[in-house]
Amino acid sequence: MIDSYNEVLKSIENIVKNVANKMGFDKTVLGVVTKRFDNSLGNYIVKIDNVEFEAISALINLKVGDYVYITIPNGDYSETKIISGKKNIEQEEVDANPRD
């Protein structure tokens, strides 16, 4: 009886995973700006997990070395990647080391 119950649960889990994998969800990842080009349009090269990609942004004041949040449409890295914001490293360092 318990084996049958576990098999049903495993089947449900597999169905849910399969459906979730087929659904399109945007994915946001942290990357770093490695190059700027065509500054008037906000085009950048960003590094995500040691791989460089082109990305676009409305933020045209980013610099090489800036950490940024990058949205991957539908989790598909072949789509246009969008820089959605800049990570404030200095603020995190301050927050991690509060003063008495």
What CATH number has the domain bearing residue 73? 2.40.50.140
**Residue 31 belongs to what domain range?**
27-87
User: What's the token pair of residue 50?
Assistant: 């040691």
Q: Is 14 part of a structural domain of the chain?
A: no
Question: Where do we find the tokens 């008495």?
Answer: 100
One-letter amino acid for residue 87 of the chain:
K
pLDDT by residue for the chain (100 residues), tens only, comes to: 678 888 988 999 988 877 776 777 888 999 999 998 876 678 999 999 999 999 999 877 889 999 999 999 988 888 999 999 998 876 554 344 444 4
Query: Residue 90: what pLDDT?
Result: 63
Read out DSSP for 34-100? EEEESTTTTEEEEEETTEEEEEE-S-TT--TT-EEEEEEGGG-TTSPEEEEEE--HHHHHHHHS---
* Total count of domains within the chain: 1
DSSP state, residue 23:
S
Closest CA to 48 of 63, 68, 62: 68
